[in-house]
Amino acid sequence: MSVTDFETLGAFYLGKRYDIPSRTRSNDLVLYDAKDLTTHAVIIGMTGSGKTGLGVGLIEEALIDKVPVIAVDPKGDLGNLALRFPSLVTNDFRPWVDPQQATNAGMSADQFAEQQASLWKNGLEGWQQDGARIQRYRDAADITIYTPGSTAGRPLSLLKAFDAPPAAVRDDAETLQERVSATATSLLALLGIDADPLSSREHILLSNLLHHAWQEGQSLDLAALIGGIQNPPFSTVGVMPLDTVFPPKDRMALAMQLNNLLASPGFNTWMQGEALDTASLLYEPSGKPRGSVISIAHLNDAERMFFMTLLLADIIAWVRTQPGTGSLRAILYIDELFGYMPPVANPPSKVLLLTLLKQARAYGLGVVLATQNPVDLDYRGLSNTGTWFIGRLQTERDKMRVMEGLEGVSGGQPFDKAAMEQTIAGLGKRVFLLHSVHEPAPVTFETRWTLSYLAGPMTRDQIRSVTAQSHAQPTFAAGSGSSAPLAATSISSTGGSLGALNAAATRVPVLPHEIAQFYLPPLQQHRGPLQYHPVVLGLADVSFANVKLGVTEQRRVSLLAPVEDGPIALEWDSAERVEIEPSLLEKSPREGAAFGAVPTAATTVKNYAVWTKTLQKWIVTNEQVTLFRSAAFKTTSSPSESEAQFRIRLQVLSHEARDAKIEVLRGKYATKLAAMQDKLRRAEQTVQRESQQASQAKMDTAISVGGAILGAIFGRGKVGVGTLGKVATATRGAGRAAQQAGDVSRAQESLEALQQQQAELEAKLQVEVDALGATYDAQQESLETVLVKAKSSDVLVQLCGLLWVPYVKDANGMVTAAWR
C-alpha cells in the first residue's frame, strides 16, 4: 500500500521499520494510529538524534489529517513548519539558505540552494512522497508563528489572561483553585518574587483577589488587579484582619512593583496583538484547523514560565468546554520540557501539565512532550503517557532513567529489560524505538523525510518574513460569542452630535413621570467628567421553538435607538445591538455629570407605546435563529453554534466515524490476517527446514562420492567390493538429495500460493478501505441554512424607555464612550 492509501485511515506516517543488528531499513511503513495519541506521547533523544525531525513529521501528519496543533517552540526550530515548497524549486529554498553553511560546503548561496532543492526532492522520493503531498499539507492548514512579548511574529496579548474562566472551570473548585494558584505564582515570578502558595502573603493576596472576582464571573486586567491590591474587596484573610496580615504600606509596595511592570516599555509588547485564546490558536475564524507555533526562544526563564502557565491554564479552560470524544481532536506539542515538569520542584506549570495528562484524554486533546534531558522529567507524572519515542541517548544515567520510565508504563505486562537495553544502545541518528501501550511489541523505525524544509532555528528576521507572507489581519476565536466593545469614537450613531455634548447642560432634563428613565453605568476607569446623552432602550425576550429541529431557544434582544425630531423620529433598523443587564442599570445619574438635549419626540409619552409595537414587529421580521445543516452527517447545528463551531464539530464527527469504521475493519480482518500470518510463518519455516535438509543431503552425497573415488585412487590396492559398495551408497544418497530438492520446490510452491492468498486478502481489504472515501473536509462541505423565526406571541417587550448613555471628553476635545 502507498502512503496516501493510509491518509484516509487516520494513520500518521512516521517512517519505516529499521533492523538494528543489520543496520538496514526495510520497506515496511510505520503507521501510528492517530487515535492512540489521545493517551499522550513523549519524545526523548539527545541533540542530533533526530528528535526535531520526528516532532515536525508528527505535526505534519496531524495537520494533513485536519487535526489542529499548538506547538510551543523554545529553540526556534518548529517555525520550519511554515517552509513548505511543493514546487521544490531552487528559488523557494534560496531565501532560507544559511550563507555560512554554503561557504562551509565550498559553494555559493545559489549553488547551495540548488543542492538543497535537489536534496529535498530526492529525499522525499526515497520515502514515497512528493510535491503533491506538500501541497496537500499546505492546503490542510495554515502555519502561524506567534511571538509573545515580541513583534517579530504575531504578538499575543495577555489582556484576556486574567478573564474569568468559563463556568465549567468555575464550578469545579479544584480546577478553579489550580488556575488561581498558577496565575498568581507566574505573575509573582515575573516580578522576581519566589512565592510559596501557603506562606507568601503576596501569593495569598493575589489568589484571594483572583478567586473573589472569578468566582463571581468577573474578569480582571492588570489595572484592576493593581487597584484590588490597594483596596481589596475583602477585609479579612482567613480569620485575621487583612491589614494585620498584609499592611496597607506593604500592599502599596506590591502595587507599585506591578505598576512599574505595566508601565515599562518592554512590557508593552505583552499587551499587543491577538488575545491569548486557545480556540483562536487551534482554529481560523472559519473553523479551519490551524498550526500555531508559539516561539518563546527570545524570552528569559521567568517570562517563559509566566507565559507557559497562562497558556496551559487557558488550554485547560478550553478543554473543559468541549464535549467528550474518543478521537483525536487537537494536539499540544511542547518541544523542550526542561524546567516545566521536573521530578522534585513544583513550578506552576507542573500542576497544570499533570492535570492535562490526567484529564485531557477524555476530551480528545493529545499532549506530546519532547526533551533531551530524561533525568529532568517527572516519570511518575508521565505514567499517563501511552506512547514513548526513544532516540539516541547521551549518558548511561539517561538510559537508566528511560528504562525506569518504560518499566513503569508497562502496566504489568512482561518487560524484557535486557533486550530493551540492547535495543536502546543500538539506536542511531533518526532511528527511534516506538513503545506504545496500544501495540503488542515495541517497534524500531527510521523517521521519514519531512515535508517542511528544515533550515534550522529561525532568527527574528526570518520569523518576521514568514509572518509578513501569512495572513495580514489578526483573527479571533471561532464563534467565541463574546461581543466587541461598542463604538466609542462618535455619538452620531446614537443620535445627537458632538456639538450637543459640548453644549451639555448640568441639570437633569425634566420629563413626564410616565417615561421610564435609566442610566448606563460608566466604566470604573473612565477619566474626566461624565456627559450623558439620551437614546431609547428597547429590551425584549424572544422565544423560538421548532420541535422537528429540536429548537427551544430563549433570547434577549437589547437595542439602543437614536431619536431625532423629524417625520420619522425613531427607526429600529438604525439601532445598535448591545448586551445590557437590566438589574445593573442605575436610576439616578452620577454626581457632577452634564446632560445633552432631549429631542422633543423622546419627551412625548404616547411615542413609547408606538415604539413598543414597532419593536415587536421589527423583532418578528428581523430576529431569527440561524441553523446549519450537514447533508454528509444528516445533522443540524444547535442554536448556540456558529457556522465555524459547527464545522469544527463536523470535523470531529468525521474522525469519530472514521475511527469507528476502522475498528469494524480491524475486527473483520484481524482473525483472517492473523491466521494467514500464521500459515505464512509455518510455510516459511517449512521452506527453510526443507532447504537445510536438501543442502545437508547434497553435502553428504558429495562427501560420500568424493571419499569413495579418492579411496580408489589413493588406496593401497585396486577398487574392490567395499569400494564399489561405498560408491553405490553414495549414489543412493544422491537420489535422496534429488528427493529433498523436490520437497523444497513443493514447499516453495506452497509458500508462494499462501503469499498470493495474502495479496488477495490485502487487495480485498484495500477495496473496503477505498470504500471509506476521501478524507472528509468540513471546510469544503456546502451547508444548508435553516431559519427559525418567532411569532408575535413569542415576543415580549420588557422595556421601552429613555436611557442616558455616559461619555467623556478628554483634554483634546475628543469625545469617547465611557461604557462597554
**Distance (Å) of CA 104 to CA 96, 98, 112, 297:** 16, 10, 10, 26
410: DSSP letter:
S
Asked if residues 802 and 514 have their Cβ atoms less than 8 Å apart, the reply is no
Pair 614, 725 in one domain: no
130 found inside a domain: no
Pair 799, 756 in one domain: no
41 found inside a domain: no
> Taking the CB of residue 31, how many other CB atoms lie within 10 A of it?
17
Q: Using alpha carbons, select from 62, 57, 70 the residue that is nearest to residue 35.
A: 62
Asked if residues 295 and 149 have their Cβ atoms less than 8 Å apart, the reply is no
Distance CA 439, CA 539 (A): 60
Find residue 543's DSSP bridge partners.
554
Q: φ and ψ at 536, to 5 degrees?
A: -100, 130
**Which residues, in sequence order, are CB contacts of 577 under 8 Å at separation 6+?**
557, 558, 559
- CB < 8 Å & 24+ apart, contacts of 662-671: 662/9, 662/10, 665/765, 665/768, 665/769, 669/761, 669/765
Q: φ and ψ at 33, to 5 degrees?
A: -70, 120
Angle between helices 248-263 and 201-215 (to 10 degrees): 70
Pair 667, 767 in one domain: yes
> Taking the CB of residue 742, how many other CB atoms lie within 10 A of it?
12
Q: How far apart are the first and last CA of the chain?
A: 59
Pair 740, 648 in one domain: yes
- Residue 525's pLDDT is 61
Distance CA 409, CA 386 (A): 7
Distance CA 672, CA 680 (A): 12
**Which residues, in sequence order, are CB contacts of 753 under 8 Å at separation 6+?**
none
* Sheet with strand 41-44: strands edge to edge: 24-33, 11-19, 443-447, 431-436, 387-390, 41-44, 365-371, 330-334, 69-73, 290-295, 142-146
684 found inside a domain: yes
Q: What pLDDT digit, counting tens, does each position of 69-125 carry?
A: 999 999 999 999 999 999 999 999 999 998 989 999 999 999 999 999 999 999 999
Task: Tell me how many domains the chain contains.
Answer: 2
Pair 508, 617 in one domain: yes
Name residue 542's amino acid: V
Rg (CA), the chain: 36
- Residue 724's pLDDT is 42
**Which residues, in sequence order, are CB contacts of 187 under 8 Å at separation 6+?**
206, 258, 306
Asked if residues 127 and 149 have their Cβ atoms less than 8 Å apart, the reply is no
Helix (H) / strand (E) element for 806: namely strand 795-809
> Taking the CB of residue 593, how many other CB atoms lie within 10 A of it?
18
Distance CA 409, CA 385 (A): 8
517 found inside a domain: yes
Which residue shows C-alpha cell 547521551? 394
Q: Using alpha carbons, select from 177, 214, 212 the residue that is nearest to residue 197.
A: 177
Pair 796, 714 in one domain: no
3-state secondary structure at position 15: strand
Asked if residues 368 and 58 have their Cβ atoms less than 8 Å apart, the reply is yes
Q: Which three cell numbers stand for residue 789?
A: 423565526
Distance CA 646, CA 669 (A): 34
SS3 of 545-590: the string is EECCCCEEEEEEEEEEECCCCCCCCCCHHHCEEECCCHHHCECCCC
Pair 583, 647 in one domain: no
Pair 619, 687 in one domain: no
Asked if residues 116 and 97 have their Cβ atoms less than 8 Å apart, the reply is yes
Residue 676, domain CATH: 1.10.287
Is residue 128 left, alpha or beta, with left meaning phi > 0 and alpha meaning psi from -120 to 50?
A: left
- Residue 820's pLDDT is 66
Mean pLDDT, consecutive 10-residue stretches, the chain (820 aa), reads 62 94 90 94 93 97 96 95 96 93 92 96 95 95 95 87 83 85 87 84 93 88 88 90 92 93 85 90 94 95 91 91 94 93 87 92 96 81 87 87 78 73 89 91 94 94 88 40 34 40 65 92 74 94 89 91 89 91 88 89 94 96 93 91 94 91 82 78 77 62 42 39 45 55 73 79 75 79 93 94 88 73
283: DSSP letter:
B
Which residue range is the domain that position 569 belongs to? 492-623+790-817
Q: Using alpha carbons, select from 94, 61, 91, 64 the residue that is nearest to residue 455.
A: 94
Pair 673, 727 in one domain: yes
Pair 682, 797 in one domain: no
Q: Using alpha carbons, select from 266, 267, 263, 292 the residue that is nearest to residue 277.
A: 292
SS3 of 284-315: the string is CCCCCEEEEEEECCCCCHHHHHHHHHHHHHHH
Pair 602, 684 in one domain: no
Asked if residues 186 and 310 have their Cβ atoms less than 8 Å apart, the reply is yes
Which residue shows C-alpha cell 437589547? 558
Question: What is the DSSP annotation of 173-203?
Answer: HHHHHHHHHHHHHHHHHHTT----TTT-HHH
202 found inside a domain: no
- Residue 421's pLDDT is 85
Asked if residues 78 and 71 have their Cβ atoms less than 8 Å apart, the reply is yes
**Burial (CB count <10 Å: 0-12, 13-18, 19+), residue 22:** exposed
Distance CA 47, CA 45 (A): 7
Distance CA 813, CA 385 (A): 61
Find residue 536's DSSP bridge partners.
561, 802
Pair 737, 797 in one domain: no
Find residue 814's DSSP bridge partners.
none
Give the total residue count for the chain.
Answer: 820
Distance CA 505, CA 600 (A): 16
SS3 of 416-459: the string is CHHHHHHHHHCCCCCEEEEEECCCCCCEEEEECCCCCCCCCCCC
- Residue 736's pLDDT is 55
Helix (H) / strand (E) element for 42: namely strand 41-44
Which residue shows C-alpha cell 593401497? 716
670 found inside a domain: yes
Asked if residues 561 and 535 have their Cβ atoms less than 8 Å apart, the reply is yes
Distance CA 640, CA 544 (A): 12
233 found inside a domain: no
Asked if residues 189 and 306 have their Cβ atoms less than 8 Å apart, the reply is yes
Helix (H) / strand (E) element for 390: namely strand 387-390
56 found inside a domain: no
Question: What is the DSSP annotation of 35-91?
Answer: GGGGG-EEEE--TTSSHHHHHHHHHHHHHHTT--EEEEESSS-GGGGG---TT--HH
